[in-house]
A and B are shown apart, each in its own frame.
Chain A
Amino acid sequence: GSSAPAPAETQPEPETKTEEAAPTEEAAPAEEAAPTEEAMPTEEAAPTEEAAAEPDAAASGFTLNERIAEKVANGEPLMLRVSYHDVSNEFAPFIKKGVEQAAGDFDVDVEMVGPVSPDADAQIAELENLVEAGVDGLAISSVSSDALAPIIDRLLAEGIPVVTYNTDNPESNRLAFAGQDLEQSGYEAAKVLADLMNGEGDVIITTLDAAAQWSIDRETGARRGFDEYPDINVLQTVNTGTEPQEIYGSIENAMLANPTVSGILSLECCSVSPAGEYVKRNGLTGDVTVVGFDELPQTLQLIDEGVIAASLSQAPERQSYEAVRLLLDALNGQPVSDVDTGIAIIDQSNLSDYMQGN
């Protein structure tokens, strides 16, 4: 399980992506990130009179099931759930924070749910059981894209609104997606690293799970990015596994096997700080440039120490927050469309904005 996120086709052009880009309003981190003015259509959000008046105006082909429509019409409290594919990973607390933020802002019964390991079968079982428990709307992030497409379509057929976030299921009929363009983010990250390396040198790519779809997407983007620099050589993609010691050991071994490496690109949250630790402990700071993803505390600390050069944030709180907002919109019959949560680059220049959140 890992941080993960979204496919190309929906939002080919994320708004914030140059390396200078300070976190813009939408892509802003941590607590400030989600509840920005634009992101919070407070007035429309709560099930209001008007909303009940036009319950059929939802996305094309989807009709609310009667039970839910009645609840909406009567202004009864709704039960929404945000299903995350592995509630025990590093990313889950961010997702949860966004959900809790939304619960407060919109005053709805919404919680994060999901299996305690990346297990699609368990996630499906839980979704089915939630239907029995009377859920009124679901936001779903799946372990790999389209893993849950059939069940999403089944839920929609039963009249339960479903949106996706973080990792999309584009082949399903989900009403909308809130998240990041994964391939684009990989591309951006590669360019950040390549520029920091002055366009030359040997690079290794590290990932928790080289075979996961999000990893493949980011790696594709990254390799496309590196291709633009003829003097950058990608030596190897190191599959580190997910256990922290294992991650460090893999990086250690890979560095020893490739003594010429001068850049490490980590494709996710969790192999970036071990890469940083390795560089720091072996006196390679300055010689080996590390770029990775996300804003885990240790990553930020290492940016502060100048060991990690930059990290790309995908504003995870915002993904779940937006997902809840989309659900409420759909329930109230408003048209919904995809939300790109963007990419923000964290480096020493803007670190303080992120640090205070933790």
Chain B
Amino acid sequence: MSDNLTPLIELKQIKKGFPGVQALDGVSLTVYPGEIHAIIGENGAGKSTLMNILAGELQPDSGEIIFQGRPVRIPHPNVSQQLGISVVYQELALAPNLTVAENISLNTVRTSFGLEFVNRRDFAVKAKAVLSQLGMASLDLRQPVGRLTVAQQQMVEIGKAISTDVKVLILDEPNSALTKEETDHLFAVLRDLRAAGVAIIYISHRLEEVLSLSDRITVLRDGQWVETMPAESATVDRLIARMVGREVDTLFRPQGASTVQTQISFEVKELSSTALLRDLSFMVHAGEVVGVAGLPGAGKDELVECCFGLRPYTGAIEVKGQPVRLTEPDQAIKHGLALIPADRRGTGAMLVLSVQDNIVAANLSQVSRAGLLQRPAIRAVGQQYVQQLDIRIAGLTQAMGTLSGGNQQKVILARGLATQPAVLILHEPTRGIDVGAKAEIYAILQQLAAEGVAILIVSSELPELIGQCDRILVMYQGAFTGEFDRDDAAEEPILACAMGQSTHLETT
């Protein structure tokens, strides 16, 4: 870090209010060239809002932005691009109809007059270069981005951000869907950029990562600046304490608190689907937490979809010993299943609807009588889960689309919990959720398990699986290649299985 240099960006007393919320309340921040500056804070602390202001997506109500010593106004993203500010958005900003190569080159056409021909060969060359830098050389450049997995899309978005001459690179939870390996690639690239004098603002909820990557760390809480500290002097516990403003007991389940019962709640027998899934069999006992690990493309998505009636399958599924045929999600819900989907904006949220409507959407029978909605009941259920999950909102009728990313995720979790399921399937359940909330969610999962709910966590975050699960299944190319009990679950052997070495395979 280089205190002797002039700051690249100085933010002074930035305020930004939304109806009902003061998202930023006088935040100041200084970023130097050649530093990685992490910004952390709970969900809704105002991190994305601050970055959106730098990007020109939002205008501050008051405060000053000083860029290389000059006060600037950034009325449009176009201006931030001119200044050399590049952003990887938390909610990806890609055109789904355009190809990988086209998306990566999208910000290079900004300055063109319009009538010159598009050089798609250049696009491809550049995309290829950027993607191989990120270790994604095998990605088909001609695929429309809308058909990629979330992880692939995230990589494309990062590639797009670093494909221009960038002075300030802002990454808002860039790796929430990435694997460890992909994340390592990303970090290597970031370190190179730092060495080249780029200022990097890095937002993440993964505190270990933050500690190892960044030079300085700024903590925001409730829209206010709390502290900026050098990374050397920080610890995870200290960061959490500053973020949350109190102690968080523990992230992981206490040892030996297994609640596994003998009754089998959910059983899948020889499930196959399309060309990808082959004869998958597993069971989840009441009170058991089972994890499914695997690299992107292993077929975890398809497995989740089959288990919730979103995708046709062959084979059998039993819930509490009863064979069921899941043709549609409503069947699944009726039989006591609940799903927390991974794709928050696409499959999860109904963005124009209110928070309370989103919470009760899967559980309408509980909040209605004879087909008539009971508004008080809707409010009560909404209220209950807003409290229980500590969802930060201005009011129950706030539109879902205006919530911070993490809070949206909690609302979706609330929707699943509100159906009081016997089997809860969570797909990337803590993607983009802050540590405090994560701890709360884990605690809730434990409590549910203790109450006898069978829980299936499908996740690409191995620490999460290892910390939470009684058992972990590992997938590779549509089949299970390993099964780990809680005691012998560790990152390395699981990763080995996930990459196809079925050394640890025990049973099917």
Report if A and B touch in the complex (beta carbons < 8 A).
no
CB within 8 Å of A: which residues of B? none
